[in-house]
Amino acid sequence: MIQSVAFIGLGAMGYRMAAHLPQHFDTVYVWNRNFAKAEQHAAEYATQAVELEQAVQADVIFSCLPTSQDVENLLDGLSLKAGSIWVDCTSGVPDSAKKVAAQLKAQQVDFLDAPVSGQTIGAEKGTLTVMVGGDAQAFEKALPAMQAFGQLIKHVGEPGAGFAVKAINNMLMAVNLCAVAEGFTTLKAHGVNLNEALDCINASSGKSAVTEMVLPQRILNRAFPLTFALPLLAKDTGIALDLVRDAKLSAPVLGLAQSLIQAANATAEPDSDFSSAVKMYEAWSKITIE
């Protein structure tokens, strides 16, 4: 039985994910590096803003930080409670999950890599997809806590498997984003009405999450709302390509998408949403996708 939960990292995702926990658990600790955000969360959702040392005494500890390195740095020197489960919702590095899971096992703590997809709107609605790697028994124990913000929750394998699935998912989205930028600048060059073209494609075999959501909600309307930062997507495509290299496979399409997303990230304005990657194509072609 889970008596207490904690959430560490109240960013764009974490703030919203943690908001669901008080409906299911009596004791919900929150901690954030900028502590004012934790205090704001406590005031808004009746969670408890506490010091990090206290937060990590919960039965289930969630983290959602930018990178695995941030999580490793945070864990360094922390003393955890035997029998607890650390559920890391960061989109992280599989090798880091394997290493941290082994280290925490020595403290009788389980580590699950449990990255999420569904964007900030999914975090707000509690409809995220959670892809989990790690010990199967720990997964079963932590499941009720993950259900607070997750809709589809899958145990996908050993430590690192969840991070691997997430990296490949985001790589597939990046491939689509690049292909859509190329396809829609081409259509515009041929004088096609892009909104009408989009309706046709979304009723045809070329559709994807990018054409169904990203293009109409972020690009065609020129909104580019910052909910998932472009450097985070660049990080994810890097993780995916490392997986390809580790397996000694050849993945030319993924490799090209990784280079394109890196280039888009390098040339983007600060605080750019991932959808802004198409602006690189717009600059090259002098064609705006609108």
Active site residues: 166
Amino acid at site 48: Q
Would you say 8 and 62 are in contact if contact means Cβ atoms under 8 Å apart?
A: yes
Q: Provide the minimum distance between the beta carbon of 119 and ligand NDP in the complex, in angstroms, as a whole number.
A: 4
Cβ nearer to ligand NDP, comparing 162 with 187: 162
Q: Provide the minimum distance between the beta carbon of 216 and ligand NDP in the complex, in angstroms, as a whole number.
A: 17
Beta strands in 100-148 (DSSP E): 110-113, 116-117, 128-133
Cβ nearer to ligand NDP, comparing 33 with 99: 33
Residue ranges binding ligand NDP (CB under 6 A)? 9-14, 32-34, 37, 64-66, 70, 73-74, 90-91, 116-117, 119-120, 227-228, 232
Q: Provide the minimum distance between the beta carbon of 117 and ligand NDP in the complex, in angstroms, as a whole number.
A: 6
Q: State the CB neighbour count (10 A cutoff) for residue 151.
A: 13
Cβ nearer to ligand NDP, comparing 183 with 216: 216
Q: State the CB neighbour count (10 A cutoff) for residue 127.
A: 13
* Own/partner long-range contacts of 231-234 (Cβ < 8 Å, ≥24 apart): 231/265, 232/66, 232/91, 232/274, 233/170, 233/173, 233/174, 233/261, 233/265, 233/274, 233/277, 234/261, 234/262, 234/264, 234/265
Q: Helix count (H) and strand count (E) of the chain? A: 13, 9
Cβ nearer to ligand NDP, comparing 18 with 244: 18
Cβ nearer to ligand NDP, comparing 201 with 229: 229
CA distances from 121 to 16, 125, 158, 212 (A): 9, 6, 29, 15
SS3 244: helix
Q: Provide the minimum distance between the beta carbon of 138 and ligand NDP in the complex, in angstroms, as a whole number.
A: 21
Q: Tell me which residue has its CB nearest to ligand NDP.
A: 11
Q: Provide the minimum distance between the beta carbon of 287 and ligand NDP in the complex, in angstroms, as a whole number.
A: 27
